[in-house]
Amino acid sequence: MQPGRMAGSQDQAAVAAPAGRLAFWILMSALAYQAVLCAIHTNLHSISMADVALAEAAIYLACIIVLARHIRLELLAVASLAVAYLLLLAILRNQLDPKGFRDVMIPILFFGLGRQVGSVKYADRILKLMVAVVLAFGFFELFLLDWFSRIFNIFSYYVNQGGLAAGSNWAKDSVLGLNGMRPEGIGRTILPSLLGNHRISSIFLEPVSLGNFAVIIAAWGLAKGREEIKQMVFFVLAAVVMIALSDSRYGMITVAALVLLRCLPLGKHHAWTMLLPLLCVAMLLLLAGFFGGQYSDNVLGRLYVSGRTLLNLDLGMIFGLDGFNLGFGDMGYPSLLTRLGALLCLFLWGALWLIKMEDERGERLRAYITLYMSLILCVSGTSLFALKTAGILWFLVGCMASRQSDEKENRHAY
């Protein structure tokens, strides 16, 4: 190696190491900030929604600090166009919607973070550590629920943020979230005789997020090549354990679909999956139009209500001019359309599919997260944009799109 090139490589390593360490703490903070705030709320000081917003803002600021070192023009262009469009919507609505800006910035910032400082090996190391932390907290909650409840009063934490009414806890003497226990008459789907009605939430405080995290790590594992079979098996088995603990019906169905997709001999031919959101919307509309049902706490009932809500959207709602401040509950597609508008959704979807992936692993991961997003919007209104899982998801996409050599991969440390 020439002396000048060697010096340049050393300078890059000096820059990459601090950025890699900061990226590690950003990701771990995104994973654990809600649990930390809940513990503070339970034992030290009441935490409000403003405190949560400040914690998230600190994480976003840290992302910006890392990205400012070597900002990419295409990332800046996408962010600028998205912000400009949301500002235009704010003018037309005569009201600013901060959540819309937040929901758009999470994918952009964390994708940029993964693209700039991440790599596949780096992501593997962080994900394995996250899996260990999540499972440790999960088994702590499972086997030592009384101690877990003394540290994390989840119900009070969410009541204080205005997300729950103080008298809405139907589970007597429980401080878990409302979805931390399956109601009598519904019960668990997975291992009910072994785990009872308790749904584990682990460090996420919500079992829904634990199930979503499980799908994300399963997608990461299944995207790997056959030569990485041990890594694939590790991530998929970890996902199965988490799905069982959280009793995630969505996770069970989606991971099964991901395994099926991985078994198909598609090679590089995954572009057809970009149509999955349209297929899901068509399925919801079909259910709403021809299935004479009503809401119930099962998959079919929730799909039916989502479809009925989609049928009732007018043009103003579809393009984000009306209804952005309505509470759509578990109905993801109506919530997404009214908050961001169809034009911005199509623009961001196109940007995702214009990302050049380096190999088949990246192509598979993009197809798998497309399935993840398409299905989650059928049954959940906000969890797709929860920082504790969304930040990790988009960081992984950025890592797969990163053009980094093995030499640079090996320089990362945390």
Q: What value does the mean pLDDT take over residues 124-153?
A: 96
pLDDT at position 267, please? 72
Long-range contacts of 38-43 (CB under 8 A, 24+ apart): 38/152, 38/153, 38/154, 38/157, 38/205, 39/151, 39/152, 41/153, 41/156, 41/157, 41/160, 42/150, 42/151, 42/152, 42/153, 42/156, 42/157, 43/151
Say yes or no to pLDDT of 238 above 80: yes
C-alpha of 234 from chain center: 20
CB within 8 Å of 125: residues ≥ 6 apart: 412, 414
Question: Higher model confidence: residue 180 or residue 225?
Answer: 225
Nearest Cα residue to 257 out of 177, 369, 150: 369
Q: How many CB atoms lie within 10 A of CB 96?
A: 12
Say yes or no to pLDDT of 243 above 60: yes
Q: How many CB atoms lie within 10 A of CB 133?
A: 16
Say yes or no to pLDDT of 342 above 90: yes
Q: What value does the mean pLDDT take over residues 122-150?
A: 96
pTM, rounded to two decimals: 0.90
Nearest Cα residue to 254 out of 336, 157, 376, 359: 376
Q: What value does the mean pLDDT take over residues 153-167?
A: 79
pLDDT at position 361, please? 92
pLDDT at position 264, please? 87
pLDDT digits (tens, 9 = 90+) for 387-397: 999 999 999 99
pLDDT at position 178, please? 74
C-alpha of 89 from chain center: 25
Under the banding of pLDDT at 50, 70 and 90, the label for residue 347 is very high
Q: What are the residue boundaries of the structural domains of the chain, listed by start?
A: 16-278+327-406
pLDDT at position 182, please? 75
Question: Higher model confidence: residue 294 or residue 230?
Answer: 230
The CA dihedral of 289, 335, 302, 279, to the nearest 10 degrees, is: 60
Under the banding of pLDDT at 50, 70 and 90, the label for residue 411 is very low
From residue 25, give the alpha-carbon distance in Å to each of 39, 47, 58, 404.
Answer: 19, 22, 12, 21
Averaged confidence pLDDT in the chain: 87
Quick check: 123 and 27 in contact, CB under 8 A? no
pLDDT digits (tens, 9 = 90+) for 286-299: 988 877 655 566 67
pLDDT digits (tens, 9 = 90+) for 82-98: 999 999 999 999 988 89
DSSP one-letter code for 182: P
pLDDT digits (tens, 9 = 90+) for 32-76: 999 999 999 999 999 999 999 999 999 999 999 999 888 888 899
CA 87 – CA 90 distance, rounded (Å): 5
> Percentage of residues in the chain with pLDDT exceeding 90?
63
Q: Which amino acid is at 89?
A: L
pLDDT digits (tens, 9 = 90+) for 171-204: 566 788 878 787 766 778 888 888 888 899 999 9
Quick check: 188 and 196 in contact, CB under 8 A? yes
Lowest mean pLDDT: which of 78-82, 165-169, 230-234? 165-169
Tokens describing residue 334: 């109506």
From residue 285, give the alpha-carbon distance in Å to each of 77, 254, 289, 315, 340.
Answer: 35, 20, 6, 16, 20
- Residues forming a β-bridge with 198: 181
Under the banding of pLDDT at 50, 70 and 90, the label for residue 326 is confident
